[in-house]
Structure 1
Amino acid sequence: MANPPSRMLMCNAEQRAALMRVALGTEPADMVILNGSVVNVYTGEILENCPVAVKGKWIASVGPDAASAAGESTLVVDAAGKTLAPGLIDGHTHTWFNTLDAFLPYVIKGGTTTIITETMEFYPVGGYDGVIEFLDSLKDQPIKFFATAPAMVSISKNHNGIPGEILEKLLERDEIVGLGESYWQAVLQSPDTMVPLLQSALDRGKRLEGHSAGARGKKLMAYAASGISSCHEPITAEEAIALLRLGIHVMVREGSVRKELEQISSIRHAGVDLRRLLLVTDSIEPEELVEKGYLEVAVQKAISCGFDPVSAIQMATLNVAEHFGLDDVIGGIAPGRCADILVLPDVKTIAPETVISNGRIVFKDAKLIVPPRKHHYPDWCRQSIQLQRPMKPSDFEIHADKASVRVRVIEMISDLVTKELQTDVFPTEGKITADLEQGIVKVAVIDCRHDPCRSFVGLIKGFGITQGSIACSAPWDTSGITVVGANEEDMALAVNRIRELQGGVIVCKGGKILAELPLPIFGIMSDLDMEQVAKKLNSVRQAARGLGITFADPVLTLETLTGAAIPHLRICEEGLVSLRDGKTLTLEVK
């Protein structure tokens, strides 16, 4: 049995005795916050003029007696007219696109003091060592991090399922609070592979993070019976209630990938208990993070959507902590808990004036007080694009020896959802080419790690591209490069530029690079500051729109073509994959 994750944050016997002495008034506190109103997330009350005493990283006392804990060397924070709320907890996100030293300043100022992040992006590109390197980057930061182990559900057989011995090593780590999102299709289609992985986590008291989009009836019941403890996929109040009734914690996404809070907000009129409802980001892309903020934006929106302010704060604090079994150390303002406290203008305004994390003031008066630690990624982390040779235009040719061929085409029916289209194509000189009049162009995935240069070239309709090419080395659930293009020359150019950069997002046309964002760390992470990443990513999107792509986020659409979670037809280096039954399909319909 692994140690409970909360052990990471617990004080030892000596420290706990010091908290007790402060509470008894026989030892001074390190910090006392006076004159503020405390949001008590345990009772749903707002306690006016409620002092808080802090010793080291933890809260020693809350209430009138805490005021007398101030000594000569005690830091006194006057919160007159202000509201004290627990530090926010993001219970589900992906922090792989930027290094933490670029990411955290924007997170901290908004009041997030704990993050639970997925690690699924690092296992395909770095294996066990890659996951450990990422986990090491989370240590000794101004805020707290926990993580989930990668379930590694993928449409590619190279990545489908993490070996049991590796998962067990990860689950033994204190900072691992559970098994990351495990798509219901994989759990039901491959129970012999997936159920032992789920059980390994359950046996260690860790949570199982779910992904139930599309599961109904008996399939949803079977998925719930597998032990899944949460799901971040509901998009309506009805879907959320259905999961809540099964004892599943519902994570409401309000980030860059999806924004479901407004649509789900009618749940507040349904008469159901909201204590298993959580607010999460599921990742925030750089431009949105710089311009708008992080989890505090979701809490503020919940209030704007009509949720009671205390309930909204609970959804991003105590509710999250309880789900992960961390509520004895974080999630509320109470003795023995970590001193993660926000000083807000009032309970309805989630704009921290002061952020306290682990008993330290880390942000105050619009200034970052404690900068994040910069993690050094060793050279091997910058060698993930292992293509032995440059790609040639001929690598993207599709040969056919018939006058007419019935083929499968990935058809975009939204920016993320696809379906299978079957159509007849007519090869020219023995080759299937793009049909711009029909909106059909080529799409390819090239493996960069397990079987370098192995590739599959298919066809896609509705992507919008009429010229040039766009490529990305951070496709979901795999370790390859995905490229969509109107011609083979630009497809080869885009992939080869990624090879030179050891990762990136590239847009090119007519043999020229129009825009690029280097991602040299594991081929998925930038080493630039957040403003530079946001600027370059915006340039990539603008260049992509110049090729005819009209999706709100062309890069996200490209990344998800390999994803094992979004219906219905996907692509990997092995071929086309139907998510209805998990079968790998050929381009030609036979």
Structure 2
Amino acid sequence: METPIKSWSEVAPVLVAVAAGRQAADSVIRGGKLVNVQSREILDGWQVAISEGRFAYVGPDASHCIGPDTEVTEAGGRYLIPGLCDGHMHIESGMLTPAEFAAAVIPHGTTTMFTDPHEIANVLGLRGVRLMHDEALMQPVNIFTQMPSCAPSAPGLEKTGYEISPDDVAEAMTWPGIIGLGEMMNFPGVINGDPKMLAEIAATQDAGKTVGGHYASPDRGIPFHAYVAGGPADDHEGTAEADAIARARQGMRSMLRLGSAWYDVESQITAVTEKGLDPRNFILCTDDCHSGTLVNDGHMNRVVRHAIACGCDPLIALQMATVNTATHFGLERELGSIAPGRRADLILTSDLHNLPIELVIARGVTVAKDGEITVECPHLDWPEDARATVHLGKALAATHFEVPAPDGRNRVTARVIGVVENQAPTEALTAELPVIDCVVEGENGVAQIALVERHRATGEVVNGFVSGFGYEGRMAIASTVAHDSHHMIVVGTDRAMMAAAANRLGEVGGGVTVWKDGAEIALVELPIAGLMSDSPARDVAAKAQRMVEAMAECGCTLNNAYMQHSLLALVVIPSLRISDLGLVDVDRFQLTDLFEERS
């Protein structure tokens, strides 16, 4: 059940009384080593007293807080560390609802998440955000919601199911669980003074809340400075040490991410470990983690372990995943450290380097032990219209995926989206492709890609080409997870199977399907907004693992290739993407032709 957070007027008298020894604590933890992220030191033998879901006493001896009904936990020499915080993430990327996502990450020691539900905003608008927000507040851990800023992410380059307006942002700022504005992906809009983008930022700033950043350009010159001047307070899109340094020098928090497919910690953490920058301005996050990663590898504990393996001092890495994050969002007095008055979120671990998560406490309640969750994560009753969001308008056929050759040529020079392993950006490539019966065909590793409109039943299909997946033989993969517009992305080498895959997702209400040699070989159903399942994480992860295996059976060798697939329509990250309006040159932020003109 939900552990309610009481008001300060209710809890302060109790905390003071417990710390003074006038009242017994609910629980006491002793016999451990306290990791103090405020002072960056390990305090051997320090004890913790908890009451009303908060830390009342933190010091060398809590015996004066123990009464006949106080629950005493012996730490057995283990470390007490704060519950871990994820500074930037999207729950929908786990293919799970907030409840199931929480259930998956609690055993890994994540007790606080700052989430941006802009995926569902593109499908269901403000109402979808409210549904995510409401289920988040039901959980036994802290899930704060950032109001999405960019739906569509790039106006004029794509159309979405719904559009977010400044009025929507202003309304959301009054909701109890809204912590700020989600990543401001439309960085050209900010740089060029777009009134809508600046109005959204202003509504957030006026509410005294944090503006999330997303500057995906490698240009750290005047455009970057103009973007920072607009108000974004953090950025997770850095991929190089110079990116991390540039952001910190401008007063931003540099968020270093390790997701299922994003490996941007190692290349940037040297700003701290080698260049010696103040680590207070650095935050660890995941951004996007699919269910398989959550079940098999971990969540924020995985990121902290990785940062340590990259040479970061364990105490600094822990600061980057606790107090730094809380401070950034204005919650340093509320969470992020084991200190009086903070929410009693902590972990017991026997090893600060490998970080086994042996006991997790959230708001004073044991929520996981030895890798198993010990509490319930309540579910929202998701309405039927949130489960019926794939509207194709008509059954698709192989002919919808044909690319007619221009001017009767027998060969063409086509622009090709080039997938880069473990990186969000793509390459803008070209390839000489053959024409057979007036239709352009892929060859030599170049597959077809299509974006199928699925919000308004227009029946529109935009076709193009992609390379880097390594697909062979006759295959197709379709997904209604298509950041950020979340139409449907279909990639394949056989047009009939591309049509079959798209129609299949129309039947099941969304998800991911893989086809090989005329038959479906994997299916992950995602009935909620075509993005999420309310099934347990392990069940979803098992189907997702089968999906990964199926992609490999089709010839794909990329690490986490599905994440790359799902981002092919993300028209705010360079260099070449596809949208429902056509092929997008993100470097110039404009639509471009599929074929190069003859010289």
**How would you bin the TM-score normalised by the shorter chain?**
over 0.9
Is 1:335 the counterpart of 2:340 in the alignment?
yes
Is residue 405–residue 440 contact of structure 2 (8 Å, CA) maintained in 1? no
Classify the secondary structure of the residue corresponding to 2:448.
strand
CA distance in 2, matches of 1:238, 1:422: 29
Shift of 1:294: 1.3
Counterpart in the other structure of 2:197: 194
Letter paired with 1:387: L
Letter paired with 1:31: S
Counterpart in the other structure of 1:67: 63
| Structure 2 CA distance for partners of 1:265 and 1:582, relative to 1, 3 Å | closer
Identity of aligned residues (%): 33
Superposed counterparts of 1:444-463, under 5 Å? 444-450=450-456, 452-463=458-469
Shift of 1:588: 4.4
Shift of 1:487: 2.5
Is residue 112–residue 141 contact of structure 2 (8 Å, CA) maintained in 1? yes
Counterpart in the other structure of 2:172: 170
| Structure 2 CA distance for partners of 1:510 and 1:18, relative to 1, 3 Å | same
Superposed counterparts of 1:218-297, under 5 Å? 218-266=222-270, 267-297=272-302
Is 1:11 the counterpart of 2:7 in the alignment?
yes
Counterpart in the other structure of 1:78: 74
* Larger CA deviation: 369-378 vs 460-469: 460-469
Is 1:418 the counterpart of 2:426 in the alignment?
yes
1:515-540 per-position Cα deviation (integer Å, ceiling 9, x unaligned): 11111111011233222222222222
Classify the secondary structure of the residue corresponding to 1:522.
coil
Letter paired with 1:441: A
CA distance in 2, matches of 1:440, 1:353: 47
CA RMSD of aligned residues (A): 2.2
Counterpart in the other structure of 1:350: 355
Classify the secondary structure of the residue corresponding to 1:262.
coil
1:436-477 per-position Cα deviation (integer Å, ceiling 9, x unaligned): 2x4433211111114532221223344433322111100001
Shift of 1:86: 1.1
TM-score by length of 2: 0.92
Is 1:487 the counterpart of 2:494 in the alignment?
yes
The correspondence for 1:549, drawn from 556, 571, 584, is 556
Counterpart in the other structure of 1:212: 215
CA distance in 1, matches of 2:195, 2:162: 12
Letter paired with 1:265: I
Is residue 286–residue 299 contact of structure 2 (8 Å, CA) maintained in 1? yes
Letter paired with 1:166: D
1:69-104 per-position Cα deviation (integer Å, ceiling 9, x unaligned): 111111111224122111111111111111344333
TM-score by length of 1: 0.93
Classify the secondary structure of the residue corresponding to 2:295.
helix
Counterpart in the other structure of 2:565: 558
Is 1:370 the counterpart of 2:375 in the alignment?
yes
| Structure 2 CA distance for partners of 1:350 and 1:428, relative to 1, 3 Å | closer
Is residue 39–residue 83 contact of structure 1 (8 Å, CA) maintained in 2? yes
Structure 1 runs (4+) deviating above 6 angstroms are: none
Letter paired with 1:122: I
Classify the secondary structure of the residue corresponding to 1:43.
coil
CA distance in 2, matches of 1:121, 1:426: 37
Letter paired with 1:469: A
Shift of 1:359: 1.0
Provide the aligned length of Structure 1 versus Structure 2: 581
Is residue 232–residue 250 contact of structure 1 (8 Å, CA) maintained in 2? yes
CA distance in 2, matches of 1:346, 1:423: 51
The correspondence for 1:395, drawn from 385, 397, 400, is 400
CA distance in 1, matches of 2:221, 2:563: 30
CA distance in 1, matches of 2:352, 2:465: 52
| Structure 2 CA distance for partners of 1:407 and 1:89, relative to 1, 3 Å | same
CA distance in 1, matches of 2:59, 2:481: 50
Is residue 472–residue 555 contact of structure 1 (8 Å, CA) maintained in 2? no
CA distance in 1, matches of 2:466, 2:275: 42
Letter paired with 2:103: P
* Larger CA deviation: 575-584 vs 413-422: 413-422
| Structure 2 CA distance for partners of 1:317 and 1:325, relative to 1, 3 Å | same
The correspondence for 2:52, drawn from 56, 63, 66, is 56
| Structure 2 CA distance for partners of 1:191 and 1:78, relative to 1, 3 Å | same
Is 1:92 the counterpart of 2:99 in the alignment?
no
1:136-171 per-position Cα deviation (integer Å, ceiling 9, x unaligned): 221221211001111121341447962111111112
Is 1:131 the counterpart of 2:137 in the alignment?
no
Is residue 433–residue 441 contact of structure 1 (8 Å, CA) maintained in 2? no
1:312-362 per-position Cα deviation (integer Å, ceiling 9, x unaligned): 211111000000101110011111111112122254452232211011111
